[in-house]
Chain A
Amino acid sequence: MQDMSQTISTVPIQHYVLLCTLLFVIGVAGVLIKRNALVIFMSIEIMLNSINLLLVAFSVYHHDPAGQVFVFFVMIVAAAEVAVGLALVVMVYRHTHSIDIDFLNKLKW
């Protein structure tokens, strides 16, 4: 564990921030551009994990394990969310034979 922290702290914090921002923006772009529900899910996961990475990095630099504990919570919530979300996608597919979100436009004024 001690080794791992030392390994992490060899990389400057700016690089973590930069990488995470990049990943997050990729995730946002994926959510906005893609029409496939599964891909949107994947993009959301990328966003979540970029934040996780950032949390771990900051936690090491601050010598505060709270950030890493928080990461576990995020992962648990993400897993639960994926379980519900995939079930929804399956149900949508059974009804519309498609997972294109543009088909889901019945709920409007």
Chain B
Amino acid sequence: MINLVWLIPLFPFFGFLITGLGFRRFPVRFSGWFASGMVLISFIFSLFIFLKLAGGAPAETLVISDWINTGNLNIPVEFLVDQLTSVMLLIVTGVGFLIHVYSIGYMHGDEGYNRYFAYMNLFVFFMLILVLGGSYTVMFIGWEGVGLCSYLLIGFWNKKHENNNAARKAFIMNRIGDLGFLMGMFLIFNTFGSLSYSIVFSKAALFLPGTTVITVITLLLFAGATGKSAQIPLLTWLPDAMAGPTPVSALIHAATMVTAGVYMVARSNILYALSPVSLSVVIAIGLSTALIAAVIALFQNDIKKVLAYSTISQLGLMFLALGVGSFAGAIFHLMTHAFFKALLFLSAGSIIHALAGEQDIRNMGGLQKKLPLTFFVFLTGALAISGIPPFSGFFSKDLILAAAFIKNPVLWGLGILVSIMTATYIFRIFWLAFKGVYRGADMNFNEIHESKGTMLTSLILLALLSAFSALPLLNHGLENNRLASFLTPVFRNSESIMSNGSQLSGGTNILLMGITFSLIILTIYLSYACFVRREKVPPPDTSLRKGFNKLVYNKFYIDQIYNKVIVDPIYKLSGFLQNSVDIKIFDRIVESVGKLVMFSGNRIRLLQTGNVGFYLFAMVICIILVLFFNLLS
């Protein structure tokens, strides 16, 4: 069964070929269902693989075929099927399938309907390659492929210029990170002589903790992760990426692609475990990203932008978990986050769909009456992300916070701060969208109606997953949850390197949970008081802002700083190079070569007199000369 794993990415690829190559002919009625069906088949296969591994089957490395084979460079196409892979496969295909089904309703009537599903299937294909890859090279194919699909889908409505700009920004920012990833790969090959996980990790286990080369490798790989997962300093592309269709934001920019960085670090756990410096960097970057993004999310008024910053913030939390050594916790949060963030995005999409494209929460309000089901699922997602038991987010978040507390209580405190802000921003948009009175002017309130069946079905399924997915995994004590014990074979080595033996006592754990929980409940109540009782609505864009508020509202001016510090100087340098170096030096050299040829040709062609006698004479003279020089030498 496990050696059939190569079929899993093949189905979405097949779907991409059919809907992509025949996108003008393939009947629009079927393409959505067809594409979803392909992902569903992959999901069923992934489920079999998962059950096989859960039944105790060992991890396997499968060599599919040769790829690059020259001298001592030997890179096959290989897949690694282990516990981590199977969990990721389930998330990618499961959430992917639900989002495909949702898209059938959401994208209905769009002129690029077939194209959309072709891109989505291609994305699922590359994402599966990324998580299945048994070496850094194969992962890199998927890594670049999902970047490409992200670019294509952000700029999906490519008739609007700003969408194309957002797509390019995402692509270029990712390239910067990818450069780090590539250099990390080179260094891995240089150090270990291979890029296969099996060889690299077994050789790495022999290194002493704190070796410099491992630190450099992990830092470079982490640079790749910051690009893909939108961490500081490469975080500005993700909010802009919201230009794409909402299901795309849900699938690529919340549930799967942006978590690739987390997956990659978790996959390389042994390398990170050997480098305390890199782990501290991961903690610092993750935590500061989580804080900054959460603060920005507090003041955004575009519902999708809030969710985008929330995603960045949650990814930061996952990196915090990785940094403190709770790899299983990070994967746990990755999974629950995939469910509840996809749910939040899709229900935001349902609102946007119902309001014909309105995304500003200041123009919403009172939607509970008109969109009762969306209200309900959004509430589920909001409770899950805020961390209210028994919703899934509570357990994964608490796992991370507990691990942070063991490492350092300060990290725990900052984590709590992030959690409180999370609850604040998510309930802010929740109250503003669903309670109060309708503030929009463009639409008649009575015309607003709930979305179609396919959209609601996937919303309900995702809501169930967000709410209850963590419960079956619980097993006396959060640390020993079933997911963690399932993933033990993957993380065993690094956890034995990192663990300092300390574990939270049951009492402390419950105390910490209690503190978090009560603070979050208080936050939700305060936001209720603010936005529902007192009906506070964020001021319009034009209103005067001062001090910290202004700073945060403008997203800490990160984009502007990048423009000033990096983009503008590059433009200026390019302008200088074009005007002086290129035009004045290189163009002249190239042109003078051409002129020389023209000039000498003009002179030399006069030799061609047309007189046969002269030609014969020249020929004889030349032969004599050749013979003469031959004799001489």
Contact = CB atoms under 8 A, between A and B. Distances in A.
Interface of A: 28, 31-32, 35, 101-102, 104-109
B68 interface: no
Contact of A109 (B608, B612, B617, B620): B608
B444 interface: no
Contact of B609 (A35, A101, A108): A108
A106 B620 CA distance: 22
B616 A31 contact: yes
A48 to B, nearest CB: 15
Q: Interface residues of B: mostly helix, strand, loop or mixed?
A: helix
* CB-based closest 7 A-B pairs: A108-B610, A105-B610, A101-B612, A109-B605, A109-B608, A108-B608, A107-B610
Contacts of B610: 104-108
Given A31-B620, A32-B620, A105 B608 contact: no
Interface string B592-627: 000000000000011011111100110010000000
Contacts of A107: 608, 610
Contacts of B617: 32
Nearest to A107: B610
B612 A104 contact: yes
A105 B612 CA distance: 7
Contacts of A35: 613
B362 to A, nearest CB: 80
B333 to A, nearest CB: 81
16 contacts: A28-B620, A32-B613, A32-B616, A32-B620, A35-B613, A101-B612, A101-B613, A102-B612, A102-B613, A105-B609, A105-B612, A107-B610, A108-B608, A108-B610, A108-B611, A109-B608
A68 to B, nearest CB: 25
Interface of B: 605-606, 608-613, 616-617, 620
Contacts of B609: 105, 108-109
Contacts of B605: 109
A14 B21 CA distance: 82
Contacts of A104: 610, 612
A21 to B, nearest CB: 13
A88 to B, nearest CB: 12
Contacts of A28: 620
A61 to B, nearest CB: 22
A28 B612 CA distance: 15
Contacts of B620: 28, 31-32
Nearest to A104: B612
A102 B605 CA distance: 19
A31 B605 CA distance: 24
Nearest to A33: B613
Contacts of A32: 613, 616-617, 620
A102 B611 CA distance: 6
A37 to B, nearest CB: 9
A35 B616 CA distance: 11
Nearest to A28: B620
Nearest to A106: B610
Nearest to A103: B612
Nearest to A37: B612
Contacts of A101: 612-613
Nearest to A108: B610
A109 B613 contact: no
A53 B175 CA distance: 77
Nearest to B624: A28
Instruction: Pick from B606, B612, B620 the residue with the most CB of A within 10 Å.
Output: B612
Contact of B606 (A31, A105, A106, A109): A109
Nearest to B609: A108
A98 to B, nearest CB: 13
A105 B616 contact: no
B192 to A, nearest CB: 64
Nearest to A31: B616
Nearest to B611: A105
Nearest to B615: A101
A89 to B, nearest CB: 12
Given A32-B613, A105-B611, A107-B610, 11 more contacts: A28-B620, A31-B616, A32-B617, A101-B613, A102-B613, A104-B610, A105-B609, A105-B610, A106-B610, A108-B609, A108-B610
A33 B6 CA distance: 82
Contacts of B608: 107-109
A91 B526 CA distance: 108
B615 to A, nearest CB: 10
A47 B608 CA distance: 26
B631 to A, nearest CB: 15
B603 to A, nearest CB: 11
Nearest to A29: B620
A19 B608 CA distance: 36
A84 B275 CA distance: 84
A107 B612 CA distance: 10
Contacts of B612: 101-102, 104-105
A109 B607 CA distance: 8
B598 to A, nearest CB: 14
A63 to B, nearest CB: 28
A104 B614 CA distance: 12
A31 B616 CA distance: 8
B621 to A, nearest CB: 10
A102 B613 CA distance: 7
A30 to B, nearest CB: 11
B619 to A, nearest CB: 9
A23 B562 CA distance: 87
